[in-house]
Amino acid sequence: MKKILLITLEHPPTIGGIATYCHDLAMTLPPDQVVVLASAERDQYATKNEKLAWDKEQPYKIIRRRLLFPKFIWPRWLRLAWHIGRIVKQEKIELIFVQHVLPVGYAAILIKKFFKTPFLLFSHGTDLLAGTASGWKKKMVRLVSRQAEQIIFNSESLKGRYRRVLPEFGKKFLVLYPCPDPEFLKPPAAAELGRLKTQYALEGKKVLLSVSRLAEGKGFPHLINALPEILKKNPHLVWFIIGDGPKRDIIIKLIRERNLQNIVRFVGEVPHPNLHAYYYLADLFVLLTHPDEGREEGLGLVFLEAAAAGLPIVAGRSGGVEEAVLDGQTGLIVEATNQSEVIKAISSLLSGKAYAAGLGAAAKKRIQTEFVWEKQVGKLALWLE
């Protein structure tokens, strides 16, 4: 197998879908054949020292560097290209995985020119939106796409959006789905679940769970507006919100205005290794994703994690969500802005125990057969061997 360098601006312990995707992809490859280049700089989730401590526990090699020059130095990505060049020489890298079209793609082109090292381009959705915001950026995305050996997407929906913008590269397109950590398939220890139930006073309660960045397009206001009606038939309901983001204060304000403080358990950010216990506390996973100013959900790893835990799901129609959740088979897809539809879907799964259990079981079986990292990475065999 070729020696691979995976370059990412987001990597654990930073929390997020791209970070998790990169870590899980690296974990699927032979540990002695993969090197990850990630940011060393402090972020909202971890200090530099916390990142280095996390790195030591991983079976694959992680190199942390300051990847970009300060904003007053242009082009900022030249620092990244210099780091990549050194690593390619020292580690004898034969193939590069680029996880962000821009700006990482610029550096990858330079390395390909001087070291003849090919690269595969991975797109997760947000990079496509940013990369087509202007004529100049669209031109740059086209340049990077032309130099890539293959362009890999996390959903058919994202592939279709990319094709509409840059149809000339269709022969290079490939979908490689993210997959939940196998740990999500197994319930946590009974003692851990018992501790959480006591901590959050869940005796006799039904639990809704939402795991997401608190940002536009995630539908939190729509669920808040629907909850008073849902509570009329389900008064012993608790809603867990796990995540943080720019809309946190607005969401809290809406919760207070609706007098929902007593039913909401606002957990905040949870490190990914500690997350799966919360899925097993829940009766139903709800995230009312929706399109927002051109942004749509790429796929939604949290939907796959919920499915792995055997949870029925109510999801908002957006982008690749309908690939993560099969409407009427593993969950229910709704229009997030249609309040009556949201209320009907959630209420039907809270009251219809057998129906909900059947959806959850089908969701889990689908994860076990289709969303397996080894199976997905097998799609790259042509480049890896």
- Please state which CATH class domain 182-370 belongs to: alpha beta
pLDDT score, position 165: 86
Say if residue 193's pLDDT is above 80: yes
Judged by DSSP in three states, 42 sits in coil
Residue range 242-246: mean pLDDT, rounded: 95
Helix and strand totals (H; E) in the chain: 17, 13
pTM of the model: 0.93
* 132 confidence band (pLDDT: 50, 70, 90): low
CA end-to-end span of the chain = 5
Backbone dihedral angles phi then psi of residue 59, each to the nearest 5 degrees: -75, -20
Per CATH, the number for 4-176 is: 3.40.50.2000
pLDDT at 383 over 70: yes
Helix (H, G, I), strand (E, B) or coil at 334: strand
Domain segments of the chain: what residues? 4-176, 182-370
Cβ–Cβ < 8 Å for 267, 251: no
Burial class (CB in 10 A: 0-12, 13-18, 19+), 63: middle
Tell me: pLDDT of 273 over 90. no
Q: Fold match between 4-176 and 182-370? A: yes
Q: What is the pLDDT of residue 321?
A: 96
Q: Is the pLDDT of residue 136 over 90?
A: no
CB neighbours of residue 99 within 10 Å: 27
Contacts of 149 (CB under 8 A, 6+ apart): 118, 119, 120, 172, 383
CB 160 within 8 A of CB 189: no
- Tell me the pLDDT tens digit for each residue of 88-127: 999 999 999 999 898 999 999 999 999 999 999 999 877 6
